Amino acid sequence: MTPPSSSPDTSYPERIAVFASGSGSNAERIIRHFEGHPTVRVVLLVCNKPQAGVRARAAALGVPELLIERGRFLSGDAYLPELKAAGVTFIVLAGFLWKVPVALIEAFPRRIVNIHPALLPAFGGKGMWGAHVHRAVLEAGVPESGISIHYVDEHYDHGDNIFQARCAVLPGDTPDTLAARVHELEHRHFAPVIEELLERGREA
């Protein structure tokens, strides 16, 4: 585990921690999107799965990581000292499945966002992740799915909506084909939406 720097480079006013525990294709796009950005940088990957593909992606792009453990995250100090040491100002959940503890939400009020691979409030909540979401969408027979980017509160997939984009559910879709279409939307929109949100915040 690479420890986060104890003296953050404050030349970037917005310093993102990406929390991810999957393959990390969204995390990678977000990191790349902000490379060379004048005010925003991804400064930390927070991961709870030693075997997650996202770790190699972040390492290849020079982003330090913090590997976290359940007890301390969910019922301890939520790793706030490490987040503070890295100068984190904004948190992006990109395929992170643990519930975010209240301590973290209170330390980053309206500064934690999540992406969900369906049109919330439908097809969200505990257990609704990955292929479970796409299977539920197909079983419901709805004509559209999409993505939702939303603030994080203490309930799963529940905070205020920030952005949604839609795609068709096509005849013959399987969870995999639908997931691929939804993933494309995520890759296209997630980083620009974060950028706009941070820029809007600076103007306010």
Q: Which is nearer to ligand GRF, 26 or 89 (CB)?
A: 26
Site track for ligand GRF across 113-152, x = CB under 6 A: --xxx-----------------------------------
CB of 91 or CB of 115, closer to ligand GRF: 115
CB of residue 199 to ligand GRF, shortest distance in Å? 23
Q: What are phi and psi of 166, to 5 degrees?
A: -115, 155
DSSP state of 55: H
What residues numbered 157-186 form the site for ligand GRF, per CB under 6 A? Answer: 183, 186
| CB closer to ligand GRF, 45 vs 104 | 45
The residue whose Cβ lies closest to ligand GRF is: 95
Structure tokens at 162: 């920030």
Give CA–CA dist 191/176, Å, rounded.
23
Q: 54-89 burial by CB neighbour count: b if 16+ within 10 A, else e?
A: bbebbeeeebbbbebeeeebeeeebbbebbebbbbb
Among 4, 87, 95, 101, binds ligand GRF (CB under 6 A): 95
Reply yes or no on whether 33 is catalytic. Answer: no
Closest CB to ligand GRF among residues 76, 125? 125
CA distance 32 to 26: 10
Choices 4-12, 16-24, 69-77, 79-87 (CB under 6 A): range interacting with ligand GRF: 16-24
Q: What are phi and psi of 85, to 5 degrees?
A: -60, -35
Restricted to residues 19-38, the positions that interact with ligand GRF (CB under 6 A) are 20, 22-27
Residue 54 to residue 164: CA distance in whole angstroms: 24
- Residues in contact with ligand GRF, total (CB under 6 A)? 14
The one catalytic residue in 116, 150, 158, 183 is: 116
Alpha-carbon distances of 148 from 3, 17, 140, 176, rounded to whole Å: 32, 19, 18, 19
Nearer to ligand GRF, 85 or 97 (CB): 97
Q: End-to-end alpha-carbon separation of the chain, Å?
A: 37
Catalytic (active-site) positions: 116
Residues lying near ligand GRF in the complex (CB under 6 A) are found at 20, 22-27, 94-95, 115-117, 183, 186
